[in-house]
Amino acid sequence: MGVLAGKTALVTGGSRGIGRGIAERLGREGARVAVHYGSNETAAKETVAAIEEAGGEAFALGQELGVPGDAAALWESFDAAVGGEGGLDILVNNAGIAASKPFATLDEEEYDRVFAVNTRAPFFLAQLGAGRLRDGGRIINISTGLTKTALMPDLIAYSMSKAALDVFTRDLSKVLGPRRITVNAVAPGIIDTDINADWLRGDEQAWAGAAAMSALGGVGTPAEIADVVAFLASEDARWVTGHWIDATGGSLS
């Protein structure tokens, strides 16, 4: 029996990368995990299968984020999936996108899209999910170390959207605190995921440069972020809320 046995979790963007690492970790701790995906159903089903093979329970939920009505539609699918056993204990707002263009060429459409996925969707998922979230529950927002440094200024819109998520985390902790619901943010640094594969894995210099940023001398893995999330989801973190946790491996030191 894991420390999250009997709990139900929803992980947005849970089919790949950091999200998959989180979903699998919560599953190993005994939580029933709703694995959300935006478009890659195959990857979501693979994540569900991995959780089940490890002895856990999971199901996939598909819903594009960043579009009108996204949060309501996702919760409707969640309610249908859990049926009479409704209710939620852990919400992990992990899904996010980065702008592909720097400041000088970023257009309004892409800017709005970044904020719609990274900031607006978590806001309304939490707002509409609060009634489903049981007292003593957890909301964990995945931020970035880039909200504290100008190390990658070409990702300015992405960093701005996550900075807004940090403020949301802080203020929401006060709103939901009376119900003993904790709200925290976890900020990864450079993580070895398929999203970073093109520039990171195929270039020895890029890998060495990324590793050199960390005080620990390495590139982070999804499992290392998932372990932090699992702690925040557990009873051991019941007195931690409104906090921004640096999980960059000391890259901000």
Residue 57 in tokens = 């329970």
Backbone φ/ψ region at 223: left (φ over 0), alpha (ψ -120 to 50), beta? alpha
Spot the catalytic one: 158, 168, 207, 244.
158
Those residues whose C-beta lies under 8 Å from the C-beta of residue 109, and which sit 6 or more positions away, are none
Domains and CATH numbers, the chain: 8-242 (3.40.50.720)
Does residue 37 have an active-site annotation? no
Q: What is the DSSP string of 131-149?
A: TTEEEEEEEEEE--GGGS-
Decide if pLDDT at 197 tops 70: no
pLDDT at 130: 97
pLDDT at 200: 75
Helix (H) or strand (E) holding 169: helix 156-176
Q: How far apart are the first and last CA of the chain?
A: 38
Could you give the CA distance from residue 94 to residue 15 in angstroms, rounded to a whole number?
Answer: 11
pLDDT in tens, 16-40: 999 999 999 999 999 999 999 999 9
Decide if pLDDT at 199 tops 70: no
Could you give the CA distance from residue 162 to residue 144 in angstroms, rounded to a whole number?
Answer: 7
Residue 168 in tokens = 């949301």
Decide if pLDDT at 195 tops 80: no
pLDDT at 67: 98
140 confidence band (pLDDT: 50, 70, 90) = very high
Q: What is the DSSP string of 176-232?
A: HGGGT-EEEEEEE-SB-SGGGHHHHTT-HHHHHHHHHHSTTSS-B-HHHHHHHHHHH
